[in-house]
Amino acid sequence: MLTNVPDNRELSILTSFTRCRMLEEVYLSKNLLSGILPTSVGNLTTTLSKFDLSSNQIEGTIPLALANLTKLIALGLSSNKIKGHLPPNIGQMHTLQVLFLYNHALEGPIPLSVYQLVCKYTSNIGHNMLIGSISSSINNLTSLQRLYLSTNRLSATLPPGLCELKDLWELYLQDNSFTGHLPLGLGLYHDEPHGYLCKQAEWRVSCIIIKAPNARVFDGHIPEQLDHMLNLDTIDLSHNMLSGEIPKSLEESQHIQVLDLSFNLLEGEIPSGGKLANLSAKSFLGSYALCGVPKFHVPLCLDKTERQSKSNAAKVIAACAIGGSELLFIVCPLIGISCYQKRGLSKRPDDLERLQGITLPVISYRELLHAMSNFSDANFLGSGSFGSVYNSSR
- DSSP letters for 15-64: HHHTT-TT--EEE--SSB-EEE--GGGGGS-TT--EEE--SSEEES---G
Classified as helix, coil or strand, 154 is strand
Bigger pLDDT: 327 or 6? Answer: 6
Mean pLDDT of 15-23: 91
**Strand arrangement, sheet containing 219-220:** 219-220, 241-244, 265-269, 289-291
Mean pLDDT of 310-334: 42
Among 63-72, 92-101, 156-165, the least confident range: 156-165
Q: Going by DSSP bridges, is the β-strand pair 83-85/146-148 parallel, antiparallel, or unpaired?
A: unpaired
Start-to-end C-alpha separation, the chain: 50
What is the average pLDDT value for the chain, to the nearest integer?
Answer: 75
What pLDDT does residue 372 have? 66
* Position 105 pLDDT exceeds 70: yes
CB atoms within 10 A of CB 270: 24
What is the band of 271 on the pLDDT scale with cuts at 50, 70, 90? very high
CB 127 within 8 A of CB 101: no
Mean pLDDT of 87-116: 94
Rg of the chain, C-alpha, whole Å:
29
Query: Closest by alpha carbon to 388, among 271, 314, 290?
Result: 290
Bigger pLDDT: 193 or 368? Answer: 368
Q: Which residues contact 219 (CB under 8 A, 6 or more apart)?
A: 179, 180, 181, 240, 241, 242, 243
What is the band of 324 on the pLDDT scale with cuts at 50, 70, 90? very low
Mean pLDDT of 341-353: 49
What pLDDT does residue 345 have? 43
What pLDDT does residue 28 have? 94
Among 43-47, 71-75, 246-250, 314-318, the least confident range: 314-318
Handedness of CA 166, 167, 169, 172 (dihedral sign): negative
Which domains, and CATH codes, for the chain?
12-296 (3.80.10.10), 302-347 (no CATH)
Region for residue 364 given its phi and psi (left: phi exceeds 0; alpha: psi -120 to 50; beta: otherwise): beta
C-alpha–C-alpha distance, residues 363 and 7, integer Å: 50
* Position 201 pLDDT exceeds 60: no
What is the band of 71 on the pLDDT scale with cuts at 50, 70, 90? very high
